[in-house]
Amino acid sequence: MPLVEIGIFLSLLILNGVFAMSELAVVSSRRSKLKSLAESGRSGASNALALASEPGRFLSTIQIGITLVGILVGAVSGAQFGERLAQWLASLGISYAVAHAAGYGFVIAIITYLSLVIGELVPKQLALRNPERVAMAIAPAMQVLSRLAAPFVWGLDLSGRIVLRLFRAPDAHETNITAEEIKALIGEAESSGAIEPEERQMIAGILRLGERSARTIMTHRNAVEIIDATQPFETVRPKLLASVHGRFPAHVGNPDEITRVLQTKDVLKAMLAGKPIDLMTLVREAPVVPDTTDLLNVVKLLRGSSIHLGLVHDEYGQFEGIVTNADILESITGAFHTDEGPPEPRAVERADGSWLISGDMPVDELNDTLGFKAKFDGRAHTVAGFVIAAFKRLPTIGECVVIQGWRFEVVDIDGRRVDKLLVSRPLEPRRRTAV
């Protein structure tokens, strides 16, 4: 008889563990993965997806099962084992009051311990190791139990919804996934080896397209070679031969009105055809891109143009620079080797843990590199502009400023542009400004 009772007790514990494992497996499963498995025809995936889509009904079903198991464990095992242990202790000469308290107390302690280990901890750890697989395995049985206990499940689900509405809790389906959560998930995937570091960097670059504006990746007009389309070809020809570029922003007399582009391939076609070279007939209209346009819309503009080059203008209509499809690709993959030489890295970590940062590095890349949140006000798009905003003036070589625990020291200035900065944790006070 005791063996039968022990068997019943262990069976109830295992059943409680199944309910606990089912609850955590379904809640922890990713719906996207369950949907993919269901579309591939995996057994139980559609059932698990249905349970995850109705968390109120599923949790009510699980809670009914766990509550019933708990009641049975206490009523059957606790009473029987406690009473027998109390009688055995009383037979040893111990007073009945002491034997009764000690017997029931010991049995309750053992039942509680086994319930925690076998009925909760171990099953939940198993569920967390592969939640989708566990969810698919137990989903059919949970759906059958949900149908059998439908009236009770419906009542509990309705009661829970009423209480949630009283507290104005948002619906479970209204939960939004933030960009930070996506980045954290990608970081975990890289740590586990599911994706390569280069893949993580490219995914991060794609996620930044909607946050960056055309001004953050454009080539500034100071570095752009501009052509006067009204000049004779022989006057412009040396400039075309000396350049490594194949497209040139062009103006017609007024250098402030740049809305066209000259492509060297058009010049070459005219030369091969033996036609006279008239730059006015060769220049093409190019898409004008406001400097605040996000890169996703820039992609749409360039995709609809045969030139694949946009002329960036500010709110006053002044030409600021150019943005190309290559600029957008480099914002995702990193710079490519060109005729001018290999790309110069924007951030280099030194042996002492400090960083040599290029002034033209975008602020969002600086945040990802150093792991802190720059106070970005929408005006300073590069590290150089960010540091100048902190100084509130153009700094000189050797000056430094401390921002959010990082020391930014100006190590090189090109004209009136901050070219290189040394970024490190501050060691001792020097000539600096704290922000």
Percent of the chain with pLDDT over 70: 90
Q: Does 203 fall in a domain?
A: no
Q: What is the pLDDT of residues 249-281, one digit of tens each?
A: 998 877 778 889 999 999 999 999 888 888 999
Please compute, for residue 49, the number of CA atoms within 13 A of its CA located in the half-sphere on the CB side: 15
Give the per-residue pLDDT at 374: 60
Domain end residue (candidates: 125, 149, 174): 174
Please say whether the beta carbons of 310 and 301 come within 8 A.
Answer: yes
Mean pLDDT over 302-319 rounds to 89
Selection from 103, 102, 99, 82 nearest residue 91 by Cα = 99
CB atoms within 10 A of CB 278: 12
**Final residue before a domain boundary, out of 174, 202, 229:** 174
**Which residue range(s) make up the domain with 426?**
347-434
| Range with the poorest average pLDDT among 87-96, 130-139, 167-176, 323-332 | 167-176
Same domain, 125 and 219: no
Last residue of a domain, one of 149, 174, 199: 174
Q: What is the DSSP letter of 277?
A: -
pLDDT of residue 1: 44
pLDDT band per the 50, 70, 90 thresholds, residue 311: very high
Q: Cβ neighbours of residue 39 under 8 Å, at least 6 residues apart?
A: none
Average per-residue pLDDT in the chain? 82
Average pLDDT value for residue range 323-351:
79
User: Which residue in this structure is represented by tokens 């049995």?
Assistant: 107
- Res. 433: pLDDT tops 60: no
Higher pLDDT: 355 or 431? It is: 355
Task: Residue 408: give its domain's CATH number.
Answer: 3.30.465.10
Give pLDDT, residue 172: 53
Residue with tokens 């009925």: 119
Which range has the worst mean pLDDT, 83-97, 301-315, 346-360?
83-97
Shared domain check, 427 and 292: no
Query: Residue range 333-339: average pLDDT?
Result: 70
Give the residues across from 362 on adjacent strands: 382
Q: DSSP 3-state assignment of 428?
A: coil
* Domain match, 58 and 110 both: yes
Are 376 and 314 found together in one domain? no
406 with 257, same domain: the answer is no
Q: Tokens 């109390």 identify what position?
A: 86
**C-alpha dist (Å) from residue 171 to 104, 182, 359:** 44, 21, 46
- pLDDT surpasses 60 at 360: yes
Co-location of 16 and 125 in the same domain: yes
Task: Give 251's strand partners.
Answer: 228, 258
Q: Residue 390's CB: how many other CB atoms inside 10 A?
A: 19
Residue 342 belongs to a domain: no
Number of domains in the chain: 3
Closest to 331 measured CA to CA, from 340, 323, 342, 322: 323
Give the pLDDT of residue 323.
Answer: 93
Which pLDDT belongs to residue 298? 93
Read off the pLDDT of residues 20-37 as tens digits, 9 standing for 90 and up: 888 888 888 887 788 888
Q: What is the mean pLDDT of residues 41-69?
A: 81
This prediction has a pTM of 0.61
